Amino acid sequence: MMLQGKRLLITGVLTRNSIAFSVAKEALRHGAEIMLTSHGRARSLTERSARQLADVPPAVLELDVTRAQDFSQLRTQIEDRWGELSGVLHAIAYAPADALGGDFIATPVASAVEAFTISAFSYNALAGCLAPLLKPGGSIVGLDFDSSRAWPAYNWMGVAKASLESVNRYLARDLGPRGIRANLIAAGPIRSPAARSGFRGFDLLAGAWAESAPLGWDAANAQPIAGAACFLLSDWSSAITGEIVHVDGGHHALALPAGQLPSQGRAD
């Protein structure tokens, strides 16, 4: 029970195919108490997912990261219910269609800024809002997609993820002296609601990933990401901060896809 006694806020649960749903499920299995967030019209989907997580469903609090007032209300509500918080999962991203899969160079600045605000700046905003409730030993975890390379179609979401990685380092710098950690998981492709609706060419990418990652990759299974998130939210990662843990089947480590060179990596 790696998370026994922990009180975690988990954002980003939409359906059971959301990565955050798997994290929430695994966190409950490891003994954590959780609350979820949702926003606007997505709330009914999140509430349905909450009912699938536990017989007594976790509370769903309102958080639209584009609304400053939601952050202050969120902090008050957590303070009223729990007083303190042990950890937070940031699993929030969005880019308008013309910033994700459109013409990269011609993307309007407003669309790029929206992608940045919701997908990267919100990590800082959430940390700033909740850090006063986090005890020393508290942990903030975000979900990343490796931004060290340019991907087909990912466009300004890729730029937002590069920003997210940078934000993570600054959060580690500024929250470390208060005993609070900030880490990202760079996940391989998962067939989530966002990936299915927003990312043209996703199936091609996921298929190529499965073939080229040394450990292989199953885009229908977010459990390995959930396990790593629970580790980062637990005391087992007490000296890790500013880190990006790749949970991607090892895809990031190779210059050429696994198995492309003859006899490469074979023990015989």
Q: Going residue by residue from 187 to 206, which x/- string records binding to ligand NAD, judged by CB under 6 A? A: x-xx-xxxx-----------
Among residues 149 and 266, whose Cβ is nearest to ligand NAD?
A: 149
In the complex, minimum distance from the CB of residue 157 to ligand NAD, in angstroms, rounded to a whole number: 7
Q: Tell me how far apart the alpha carbons of residues 240 and 95 are, in angstroms, rounded to a whole number.
A: 30
Residues 114-153 that bind ligand NAD (CB under 6 A): 118, 143-145
Q: Tell me how far apart the alpha carbons of residues 106 and 88 are, in angstroms, rounded to a whole number.
A: 36
Length of the chain counted residue by residue: 268
In the complex, minimum distance from the CB of residue 1 to ligand NAD, in angstroms, rounded to a whole number: 25
Q: Cα dihedral angle (142, 146, 147, 149), rounded to 10 degrees?
A: 180
**Of the residues 6, 25, 123, 161, which is catalytic?**
161
In the complex, minimum distance from the CB of residue 216 to ligand NAD, in angstroms, rounded to a whole number: 16
Q: Cα dihedral angle (120, 124, 129, 134), rounded to 10 degrees?
A: 120
Kindly tell me which residue out of 39, 61, 95, 130 binds ligand NAD, with binding defined by CB under 6 A: 39
Residue 65 found at the interface with ligand NAD (CB under 6 A): yes
Closest CA to 119 of 155, 78, 82, 153: 155
**Of the residues 25, 94, 154, 170, which is catalytic?**
154
In the complex, minimum distance from the CB of residue 152 to ligand NAD, in angstroms, rounded to a whole number: 13
Among residues 66 and 264, whose Cβ is nearest to ligand NAD?
A: 66
Q: Strands, E, within the chain: which ranges?
A: 7-10, 33-38, 60-62, 85-90, 134-144, 181-187, 244-247
Q: List CB contacts of 105: < 8 A, sequence separation 6 or more.
A: none
Among residues 94 and 156, whose Cβ is nearest to ligand NAD?
A: 94
Contact 112, 169 (CB under 8 A): no
Kindly tell me which residue out of 24, 91, 112, 159 binds ligand NAD, with binding defined by CB under 6 A: 91
Composition of the chain by helix, strand, coil, percent to 5: 45, 15, 40
Residue 24 found at the interface with ligand NAD (CB under 6 A): no
Residue ranges binding ligand NAD (CB under 6 A): 12, 14, 18-20, 39, 42, 63-66, 91-94, 118, 143-145, 187, 189-190, 192-195
Active site residues: 154, 161
